[in-house]
Chains A and B, each alone.
Chain A
Amino acid sequence: AQKVTQAQTEISVVEKEDVTLDCVYETRDTTYYLFWYKQPPSGELVFLIRRNSFDEQNEISGRYSWNFQKSTSSFNFTITASQVVDSAVYFCALSEARGSGGSYIPTFGRGTSLIVHP
Chain B
Amino acid sequence: AAGVIQSPRHLIKEKRETATLKCYPIPRHDTVYWYQQGPGQDPQFLISFYEKMQSDKGSIPDRFSAQQFSDYHSELNMSSLELGDSALYFCASSLGTAQFYNSPLHFGNGTRLTVT
Contacts and interface: CB of A to CB of B under 8 A. Distances in A.
B86 interface: no
B27 interface: no
Interface residues of A, number: 26
B25 interface: no
A101 B43 CA distance: 22
A71 B56 CA distance: 31
B106 A91 contact: no
A111 B104 CA distance: 18
A47 B105 contact: yes
Interface string B70-114: 000000000000000000101010000001111111111110100
Contacts of A47: 104-107
B109 A101 contact: no
A110 B43 CA distance: 8
A52 B104 CA distance: 11
Given A43-B112, A99-B56, A108 B43 contact: yes
A111 B37 CA distance: 12
A105 B45 contact: yes
B116 interface: no
A34 to B, nearest CB: 10
A52 B56 contact: no
Q: Which of B45, B103, B104, B108 has the most CB of A within 10 A?
A: B104
Interface of B: 33, 41-45, 48, 50, 55-56, 58, 88, 90, 92, 99-110, 112
Interface of A: 33, 35, 37, 42-47, 50, 52, 91, 95, 98-99, 101-111
